[in-house]
Amino acid sequence: MIRALRVTRRAGAGAGAGTGPGTGTGRRGAETAGIEEIAPGGAGTGRSAVAGDAGVGGVGGVTGVGGVTGVGGVGGVGGTAGGAGCPAEDTPARVPAPARARARAWARAWAELLRLPALFTVPGDALAGAAATGVPANRRTLLAIGSSVCLYEAGMVLNDWADRAEDAAERPHRPLPSGRVRPAAALAAACALTGAGLALAARAGRPALAVAVPLTATVWAYDLALKHTPAGPVAMAGARALDLLLGAAATTGRPGPAVPSAALLGSHTLAVTAVSRNETTGGSALAPLAALATTGLLCRLVAPRFPAGRRAAAAPGLPGPPPTSHPVPHRPGASAGEWLTTVLVAGYAATAARPCLHAALNPSPPLTQRAVGAGIRATIPLQAALAARSGGRVTALLVVGLAPLGRRFAKKVSIT
């Protein structure tokens, strides 16, 4: 007596073998295989080639009279299978490779559009502003950080949307000219991020919203009208300074004490933005030289001074202890803030100065872009130094801890 069983499965493979009075085997199956399993009466032989995703054992041989059908290749009477995988039915469905590739390409395109590594330079603005007020960061400070992140990324996306025609000629690999992100989607994202930033600022209080509104106006004006004018670098510097004041206004409602720190941070941004105007064409050594001089001046203003036997005085206009005319007894840990500030200032100089010098000596597009990227990354140690100079040592350490994350992401996505 002969019985036949026809099974159809998706592509895959499985194998199992069994021995006994009868024989049962599961062989590697073919795509959409139709398999017959034949077992003569008596001894019984099983032959199966059932396909499955990820490869699993086939349905076992079917015996003759009294035979047993087993999953994973069970043989004839008493036969047992060996080496079978799990059945095809237990294999989880997998996303097709093209779909996964499209998802990765989509995520990378938006990471490039948002310039993800530069995002780590944003939280330090609000934290440095809060430290300048002398009040520890609180819930409203976190809302200010969220607002800053949204407004910053809105500016990044809007910048590429406004420059899409120029980028098509100079940087066709960017997400918009390459077609990986539609211009309409970019503009919608910029509007949504702007709305979210203003909403978070409103939650932080009226003083924060009063700073966030001109900050938003400055960002949009820069991207849409001022970027290619002489006022462009000034507008960008103003936006960064307002971002620091946003943190102070949200934390205490009084941004005034943070104005000196905002001016110093804005000066750094002004220099970096001036260099970035030539990052695709190169040819100008003046902007990198000016940025190098600005870096040296900021180091001089932010770094504490250590007169022998006297307490370090604050640089003019910066928060810190006033100069004294009498010796101050040494106390363990009394100068920890000054030493931390000095180390952070040195880190700022080491990050920003050398690439600017190289770009000044050879103002080619690659070296100019490297100087711009270094200037953006140097924002983090400068923010940390300003926080430490204001007495926020913990805040300073928290801010400078963002630098390794920025460097890690910069290896995958361009910061400029």
Instruction: Give DSSP secondary structure letters for 219-251.
Output: HHHIIIIITTSTTHHHHHHHHHHHHHHHHHHHH
pLDDT tens per residue, range 267-283:
999 999 999 998 888 87
Q: Is the torsion defined by CA of 382, 383, 386, 388 positive or negative?
A: negative
Residue 7 CB burial class (10 angstroms; 0-12, 13-18, ≥19)? middle
Q: Phi and psi at residue 257, in whole multiples of 5°?
A: -60, -20
User: Are 22 and 158 in the same domain?
Assistant: no
Does residue 94 have a pLDDT over 80? no
Q: Distance (Å, rounded) from C-alpha 288 to C-alpha 278?
A: 10
Beta-bridge mates of residue 24:
18, 46
User: Are 132 and 6 in the same domain?
Assistant: no
Q: Look at 29-38, 92-101, 235-244 and tell me which has the smallest mean pLDDT.
A: 29-38
* Chain position carrying tokens 């009040």: 135
pLDDT tens per residue, range 286-296:
999 999 999 99
pLDDT band at residue 413 under the 50/70/90 scheme: confident
User: Are 130 and 265 in the same domain?
Assistant: yes
> Who's near 46: CB < 8 A, 6+ residues apart?
18, 22, 23, 24, 25, 37, 39, 60, 61, 62, 63, 67, 73, 74, 75, 76, 79
Q: What is the mean predicted confidence (pLDDT) over 384-402? A: 96
Domain enclosing residue 7, as ranges:
1-94
- Of residues 212 and 281, which shows the higher confidence score? 212
Q: What is the mean predicted confidence (pLDDT) over 79-94? A: 46
User: Are 47 and 107 in the same domain?
Assistant: no
User: Are 181 and 293 in the same domain?
Assistant: yes
Q: Look at 81-90, 242-251, 267-276, 400-409 and tell me which has the smallest mean pLDDT.
A: 81-90
User: Are 54 and 157 in the same domain?
Assistant: no
pLDDT band at residue 98 under the 50/70/90 scheme: confident
pLDDT tens per residue, range 182-202:
999 999 999 999 999 999 999
> Total domain count for the chain?
2
Task: Please give the helix or strand (H or E) that residue 14 lies within, else none.
Answer: none
Q: Is the torsion defined by CA of 213, 216, 220, 223 positive or negative?
A: positive
Last residue of a domain, which of 94, 128, 157? 94
Q: What is the mean predicted confidence (pLDDT) over 332-360? A: 89
Question: Is there a domain that residue 385 lies in?
Answer: yes
- pTM above threshold 0.85: no
Question: Is there a domain that residue 320 lies in?
Answer: no
Q: Look at 270-279, 301-310, 354-363 and tell me which has the smallest mean pLDDT.
A: 301-310
